[in-house]
Structure formats: structure tokens, C-alpha cells
């Protein structure tokens, strides 16, 4: 069986599988995390071990993803040398310290507390990557000592590399700072806004981690947006399928981006995981199909920013 292709995650030098795993789907329903679904007994253990058994070596999670960090700690921390572990910071650790309604808090104390909590939950002594969760500007990252806290954690060895999970327009100035080792942005055929930003990040030497690589699932599913899928029809992408499923097509379109290093597709369904692994093993779309898909998407109104 073919191995999953690997790419270097920018200046981190980590050899990551082009298909990573987004562990948000393991968030469960406790605490009312948006879009969370109940997991059956044994399901998280099966999915997480299936991820590693297939050779996927990059897992993304967050303090904000309900049970996700604890499930990783419980079920695969004994296999810690098989995966690079990315989590987030700026997520609110103690709601009593945050302004009402705030979703993130970029202060030194909250960052420190968050990383220390993640280490405990994930049952590990280091995180390979810690990303500011949804940071939108340089000012936000720097103003209350949050960035300095991450740099201090890096010096202490609790964190190997630091990154930002962000989006346009702020991601441009974050890349220009030159301090972040990796950037996480959304991208798929149906969401091409960050196509050039991915290249900008990679050219600056950073790693690129892509979320939304299968457009958040089929139309009508979970957090998938109907409007996004109207583009699929407008662009006539079904004509290009040549026997593969839309999910496979989307995933292979995503990994066809030459500056993408890993896409952290999320699933709580072992069958979907197996399908994604099979698709990723096939690698990028044939060049002619990829170019035609991009031409059709542009004609359908989805040219990159």
C-alpha cells in the first residue's frame, strides 16, 4: 500500500503527512460546543488509533474543542512519538478572567495557563506547534504579552514551534512579522480566498496548515455552508469527477496547492477517515483536471484573492 505523501512544514523542518487530522470532530456535546455531536463508546479511540495506524502524523486540536484534547491524551498519548501535536492558545481558560462575550483572550497569563492545561490534558511534556486561535492582527498578538509568552514557552521547551490560526486580512501582517513558524488558514476549491496567502506564507519560510480542506463536508452536513456548495454546481465540477466522489475530488484539489504542507481534515467517522486516506494516497489531481477545475471555478466567480 502507498504511504501517505509527506511535505516539509516550512522552517519547522517537520516532515508532515499531507493529510493531517483535525480533532475538532471529537469535541462531543459537553459544554455545548458549537456543532458538537455525541460519540459512541469506543469511537474516539478507534478514530484516533486509525489515524496513527494509517501513518497520519500531524494532529490539530484546541482548548476550545470540548473533549478533544482529553481524548487524545487518553487514547494515543502512549504513541506520542508517532505524531506531531498542534494545539491552540488564546482560548479562554478561566471565564472569570475574560470580558463578557469574549471568545479569546490574548494575555500572557491566559496563554501560559492554556498551554500548561493543554500539556496536562494531552498527557505530554511538549507541544510541537501552538497556534494563536483566530488571531486577527499583530497588535492583538503583542499587546498584552501573549506573543512574548509563547516565545518564552518555546525557550522553555514546552512548545517547539509557534503559529497563528488566522485569516484575511490580518494574516498578511502576521506573516510579515517573520516570527511565526506556521500559519493555519481555511482553503478548498469552494473557498479559494486564501490561495495566495498560502503561497505568501510558504515563501516567507513558514509552514502551511489548511483547515476546511473538504469544505466542511457534504451539503447540508454539520457546519457545511449551502452557499459554498452552490459554487460546485455553478462551476460544473461534477463533470470532472471521472468516477471519484466529490469529497475525494475536493481533498485532492486541496492538496494540489503546491504550497500547502498539510490539510487537517476532521472526521468522527472511521469510514470517512478511510476514504480520506485512500484519496490522499492518490496525491494531487492530474494537472489537466486541476487547471480545468480552477478555470471553471474562476468562471463561476471563485478566483483567488
Residue placing its CB nearer to ligand NAP in the complex, 25 or 70:
25
Residue placing its CB nearer to ligand NAP in the complex, 44 or 265:
265
CB 228 to ligand NAP: min, Å? 10
Residue placing its CB nearer to ligand NAP in the complex, 72 or 264:
264
275 binds ligand NAP per the rule CB under 6 A: yes
Q: Which stretch, 75-83, 121-129, 135-143, 271-279, contacts ligand NAP (CB under 6 A)?
A: 271-279
| The pairing of beta strand 19-22 with beta strand 262-266 | parallel
CB 88 to ligand NAP: min, Å? 6
114 binds ligand NAP per the rule CB under 6 A: no
Q: Which stretch, 23-31, 141-149, 197-205, 284-292, contacts ligand NAP (CB under 6 A)?
A: 23-31
Q: What are phi and psi of 271, to 5 degrees?
A: -70, -40
Q: 12, 87, 110, 134: which one contacts ligand NAP (CB under 6 A)?
A: 134
22 binds ligand NAP per the rule CB under 6 A: yes
244 binds ligand NAP per the rule CB under 6 A: no
Q: 272, 290, 292, 300: which one contacts ligand NAP (CB under 6 A)?
A: 272
Q: What is the sign of the dihedral through the CA atoms of 170, 117, 187 and 8?
A: positive
| CA distance linking residue 287 with residue 59, whole number of Å | 29
| CA distance linking residue 279 with residue 256, whole number of Å | 12
**Distance (Å) of CA 46 to CA 27, 40, 189, 239:** 15, 10, 30, 35
56 binds ligand NAP per the rule CB under 6 A: no
257 binds ligand NAP per the rule CB under 6 A: no
Q: What is the sign of the dihedral through the CA atoms of 227, 232, 234 and 235?
A: positive
- CB-closest chain residue to ligand NAP: 22
Residue placing its CB nearer to ligand NAP in the complex, 35 or 156:
35
Residue placing its CB nearer to ligand NAP in the complex, 10 or 66:
66
**Distance (Å) of CA 199 to CA 132, 159, 184, 196, 251:** 20, 25, 12, 5, 18
Rg, C-alpha atoms of the chain: 18
Residue positions annotated with a catalytic role: 65
Residues 185-214, mask of contacts with ligand NAP (x by CB under 6 A): --------------------------xxxx
Longest dimension (CA), the chain: 55
Q: What is the sign of the dihedral through the CA atoms of 87, 203, 56 and 217?
A: positive
Cβ(57)–Cβ(83) below 8 Å: yes
Residue placing its CB nearer to ligand NAP in the complex, 218 or 259:
218
262: three-class secondary structure by DSSP: strand
Cβ(6)–Cβ(15) below 8 Å: yes
Helix ranges restricted to H, 17-107: 43-53, 68-76
Q: 163, 170, 207, 217: which one contacts ligand NAP (CB under 6 A)?
A: 217
Residues binding ligand NAP (CB under 6 A):
22-25, 60, 133-134, 165, 184, 211-218, 221-222, 247, 264-269, 272, 275-276
Amino acid at each position: 500500500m502507498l504511504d501517505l505523501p509527506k511535505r516539509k512544514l516550512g522552517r519547522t523542518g517537520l516532515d508532515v503527512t499531507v493529510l493531517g487530522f483535525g480533532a475538532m470532530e471529537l469535541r462531543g456535546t459537553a459544554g455545548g460546543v458549537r456543532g458538537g455531536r455525541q460519540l459512541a463508546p469506543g469511537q474516539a479511540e478507534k478514530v484516533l488509533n486509525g489515524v496513527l495506524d494509517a501513518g497520519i502524523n500531524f494532529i490539530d486540536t484546541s482548548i476550545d474543542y470540548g473533549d478533544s484534547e482529553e481524548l487524545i491524551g487518553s487514547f494515543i498519548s502512549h504513541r506520542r512519538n508517532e505524531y506531531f501535536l498542534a494545539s491552540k492558545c488564546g482560548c479562554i481558560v478561566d471565564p472569570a478572567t475574560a470580558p463578557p462575550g469574549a471568545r479569546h483572550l490574548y494575555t500572557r497569563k491566559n496563554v501560559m495557563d492554556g498551554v500548561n492545561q493543554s500539556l496536562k490534558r494531552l498527557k505530554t511534556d511538549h507541544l510541537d506547534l501552538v497556534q494563536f486561535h483566530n488571531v486577527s492582527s499583530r497588535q492583538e498578538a503583542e499587546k498584552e504579552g501573549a506573543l512574548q509568552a509563547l516565545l518564552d514557552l518555546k525557550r522553555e521547551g514546552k512548545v517547539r514551534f509557534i503559529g497563528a490560526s488566522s485569516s484575511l486580512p490580518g494574516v498578511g501582517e502576521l506573516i510579515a512579522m517573520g516570527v511565526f513558524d506556521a500559519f493555519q488558514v481555511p482553503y478548498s476549491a469552494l473557498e479559494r480566498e486564501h490561495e495566495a496567502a498560502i503561497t505568501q506564507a510558504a515563501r516567507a519560510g513558514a509552514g502551511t496548515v489548511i483547515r476546511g480542506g473538504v469544505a466542511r463536508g457534504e451539503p447540508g452536513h454539520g457546519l457545511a455552508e449551502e452557499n459554498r456548495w452552490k459554487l460546485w454546481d455553478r462551476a460544473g465540477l461534477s463533470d470532472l469527477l471521472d468516477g471519484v466522489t466529490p469529497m475525494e475530488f475536493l481533498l485532492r484539489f486541496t492538496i494540489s496547492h503546491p504550497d500547502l504542507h498539510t490539510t487537517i481534515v476532521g472526521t468522527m467517522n472511521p469510514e470517512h477517515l478511510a476514504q480520506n486516506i485512500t484519496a490522499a494516497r492518490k496525491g494531487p489531481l492530474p494537472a489537466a483536471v486541476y487547471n480545468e477545475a480552477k478555470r471553471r471555478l474562476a468562471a463561476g466567480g471563485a478566483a483567488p484573492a
